[in-house]
């Protein structure tokens, strides 16, 4: 959870008294929204018979749709600068992680241990096909940590930055250009609040940033990238979806994958003065979460049980955010609703456990945006915790502190983040040690 970007997602819509965000308006960096989607209106106001330049606005439904698709923090195609033939928009960005000072061998999911890496380089293409049909494609290249060898040769579990990238739940992945997302959306919010979405996307299960410096513990338990069929609605801030997809792997001994589904419901009313959102989601099978499938599959292969999982376990995710002016605070919580089979995920992360784990993770993070020395800047700090998740290669507790500045102007950012992790005790599957990781990130966005 990166609340530098949650502020952006929360500040562009209004309460009843707040106007829809105008793309031509400039505000504090913490309130410059990156969402640049499809529905555009032009407003004209006469003053003493003078007709001003049109103001391009982005609709509330388009902004909430981006939030539901987990596009917080991404450079998105801008309909206010529509580009080719006023039908196709292009955008992208590059995130370069440098340094990685500190403990680089703690083997936690979600941490990138490479000294120098692209995390990530991406290109987004959006097409307005008609009033009722739109398409989106995201190409991505990522050299963040991919540790696992081909799984038949593994003798221990290896953590990765993200198993969702390159669909690497069965291990042996590498850094290649990926079609990270590709989907079509059918609907017209001027006519109906309903929409249909088909294709590969991050599912509406919790809220998080794609490719942050370090993925939060709740993101590790929530991030679900899959080719899915989704039906949803957006109406006056209320939003919800019902989606179905194939799990990234099947049960042990089965040649086909299992079908999964999820449901989400939320309410979002962002505004510069006072904005907020709240939501909940349910996932029928937590094996649909990429990192969960990745660690469970490794554990079963290492213990000679074959590839896949044994028992279905469902989960739920909750999120809430509140911002006022330059301040923002948010909370996340994701949990399994039943205990895993001890064959898939033992309580203390080892095969000697006598019961299965019921993992959960939570986090709270606060941020503050300000202008100083002619630069837009922000600071943020947070605390995260997990329990019964040593088998998922997560720490027990994490404290983090970060700082970012638009050092070279709008569209650029240089950030510094410190993560302090505390492992589970030896009796609970960890080594009891504390570790630190410091990262410098340079980012650019265009479009």
Region at 236 (left for phi over 0; alpha for psi -120 to 50; beta for the rest): left
Cα-Cα-Cα-Cα dihedral sign, residues 109, 420, 334, 245? negative
Question: pLDDT tens for residues 90-107?
Answer: 999 999 999 788 888 899
| C-alpha distances out from residue 21 to 58, 138, 232, 233, 340, Å | 6, 25, 23, 21, 45
Question: 379 near 347, Cβ under 8 Å?
Answer: no
Q: How confident is the model at residue 253 (pLDDT cuts 50, 70, 90)?
A: confident
Question: 293 near 322, Cβ under 8 Å?
Answer: no
* Average of per-residue pLDDT across 429-434: 92
Instruction: Compute the mean pLDDT over every residue in the chain, rounded to the nearest whole number.
Output: 84
Report the alpha-carbon angle 363-148-251, nearest 5. 80
Q: How confident is the model at residue 438 (pLDDT cuts 50, 70, 90)?
A: very high
Q: Which two tokens stand for residue 202?
A: 């991050």
Q: How confident is the model at residue 85 (pLDDT cuts 50, 70, 90)?
A: low
Span of 156-165, 266-275, 431-440 with lowest mean pLDDT: 156-165
Residue located via tokens 């819509």: 13
* Average of per-residue pLDDT across 125-141: 93
* Average of per-residue pLDDT across 305-320: 94
Query: Is the pLDDT higher at 412 or at 58?
Result: 412
| C-alpha distances out from residue 275 to 15, 17, 120, 135, 271, Å | 7, 12, 30, 29, 4
Q: Which domains does the chain have, with CATH numbers?
A: 3-446 (2.40.160.10)
- Count Cα neighbours of 114 within 13 Å in the Cβ-side half-sphere: 20
d(CA 74, CA 358): 33
Q: Which two tokens stand for residue 141?
A: 């290249």
What's 363's DSSP letter?
E
């Amino acid at each position: 959870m990166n609340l530098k970007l949650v502020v952006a997602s929360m500040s562009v819509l209004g309460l009843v008294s707040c106007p829809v965000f105008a793309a031509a308006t400039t505000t504090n960096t913490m309130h410059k929204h990156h969402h640049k989607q499809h529905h555009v209106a032009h407003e004209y106001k006469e003053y003493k018979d003078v007709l001003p330049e049109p103001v391009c606005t982005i609709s509330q439904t388009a902004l909430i749709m981006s939030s539901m698709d987990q596009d917080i923090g991404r450079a998105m195609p801008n309909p206010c600068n529509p580009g080719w033939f006023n039908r196709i928009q292009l955008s992208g960005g590059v995130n370069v992680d440098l340094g990685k000072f500190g403990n680089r061998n703690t083997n936690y999911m979600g941490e990138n241990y490479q000294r120098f890496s692209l995390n990530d380089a991406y290109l987004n293409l959006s097409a307005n096909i008609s009033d009722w049909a739109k398409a989106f494609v995201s190409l991505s290249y990522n050299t963040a940590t991919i540790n696992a060898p081909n799984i038949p040769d593994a003798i221990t579990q290896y953590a990765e930055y993200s198993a969702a990238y390159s669909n690497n739940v069965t291990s042996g992945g590498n850094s290649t250009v990926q079609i990270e997302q590709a989907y079509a959306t059918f609907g017209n919010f001027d006519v109906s609040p309903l929409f249909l979405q088909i294709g590969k996307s991050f599912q509406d299960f919790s809220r998080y940033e794609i490719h942050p410096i370090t993925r939060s513990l709740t993101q590790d338990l929530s991030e679900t990238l899959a080719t899915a069929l989704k039906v949803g609605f957006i109406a006056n801030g209320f939003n919800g979806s019902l989606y179905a997809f194939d799990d990234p792997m099947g049960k042990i001994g089965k040649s086909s994958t299992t079908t999964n589904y999820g449901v989400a419901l939320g309410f979002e009313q962002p505004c510069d003065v006072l904005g907020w959102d709240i939501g909940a989601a349910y996932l029928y099978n937590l094996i649909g979460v990429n990192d969960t499938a990745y660690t469970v599959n490794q554990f079963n292969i290492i213990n000679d049980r074959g590839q896949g999982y044994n028992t279905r376990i469902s989960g739920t995710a909750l999120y809430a955010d509140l911002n006022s002016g330059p301040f923002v605070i948010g909370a996340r919580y994701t949990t399994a609703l039943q205990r895993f089979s001890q064959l898939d995920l033992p309580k203390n992360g080892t095969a000697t456990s006598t019961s299965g784990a019921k993992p959960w993770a939570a986090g709270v993070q606060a941020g503050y945006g300000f202008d100083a020395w002619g630069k837009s800047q922000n600071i943020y700090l947070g605390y995260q915790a997990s329990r019964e998740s040593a088998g998922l290669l997560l720490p027990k507790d994490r404290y983090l502190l970060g700082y970012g500045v638009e050092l070279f102007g709008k569209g650029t950012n240089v950030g510094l983040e410190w993560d302090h992790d505390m492992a589970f005790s030896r009796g609970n599957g960890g080594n009891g040690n504390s570790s630190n990781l410091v990262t410098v990130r340079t980012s650019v966005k265009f479009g």
